[in-house]
Chains A and B, each alone.
Chain A
Amino acid sequence: EDKVVQSPLSLVVHEGDTVTLNCSYEVTNFRSLLWYKQEKKAPTFLFMLTSSGIEKKSGRLSSILDKKELFSILNITATQTGDSAVYLCAVGGNYGGSQGNLIFGKGTKLSVKP
């Protein structure tokens, strides 16, 4: 059965700390791994990773994929209170005609204290 597992499920840090969020997966015919940030309701897109070993960066956030070990990490440096959110990992594979399907993990709830 295809699955995406995120760890930790929740994390409390102080402003300025660096955090690493983990995502491991078992998916048939892997195509891409995506990270989303969900603050209140609408998840917002962060990164899409398709190739191993190539780091993607956006400001203080970065992510990398390891297709051999089947996992990805999301790093946030110099955390701010505005980084408090649930971070969702999702993986897309080939599912017959419905190639747009994403399988989501449960998310990591990050709380950044002042």
Chain B
Amino acid sequence: ETGVTQTPRHLVMGMTNKKSLKCEQHLGHNAMYWYKQSAKKPLELMFVYSLEERVENNSVPSRFSPECPNSSHLFLHLHTLQPEDSALYLCASSYSAANYGYTFGSGTRLTVV
């Protein structure tokens, strides 16, 4: 384990479902991130939270809704997804949003059917 825990590890959902991805870190980090990793594409930044405040929304569709209730937890709420949203969703954390020393979680493999 890296210190950043993501659940579930795998998720299959229909296009009309609502589900949530969870990320948890107890490393004392103040910044948390969601990245999307699709096949044959670079990791794409989705959201950045610093001290529980969203500081970046990288043009992500509204069917993805992040939530950061405290500096240790980050959620990604999913609803009415499309098959092209199937990907590995990685959570990461770092000491601050200006610090590149990311620790990544193992990701959630999402399949939208």
Contact = CB atoms under 8 A, between A and B. Distances in A.
A14 interface: no
Contacts of A32: 100
Q: Which of B31, B42, B56, B102 has the most CB of A within 10 A?
A: B42
Contacts of A31: 100
Nearest to B2: A42
Contact of B100 (A41, A48, A97, A98): A48
Interface in A48-106: 48, 88, 90, 92, 95, 97-106
A97 B57 CA distance: 12
A44 B101 CA distance: 10
B42 A107 contact: yes
Interface in A19-50: 31-32, 34, 36, 40-45, 48
Given A98-B55, A98-B56, A100-B33, A43 B104 contact: yes
Contacts of A107: 42
B51 interface: no
B99 interface: yes
A104 B42 contact: yes
Interface of B: 2, 4, 31, 33, 40-45, 48, 50, 55-56, 88, 90, 94, 96-107, 109
22 contacts: A4-B42, A31-B100, A32-B100, A41-B106, A42-B2, A42-B90, A42-B106, A42-B107, A45-B103, A88-B43, A90-B43, A92-B100, A95-B56, A99-B98, A100-B94, A100-B98, A101-B45, A102-B102, A104-B42, A104-B43, A106-B40, A106-B42
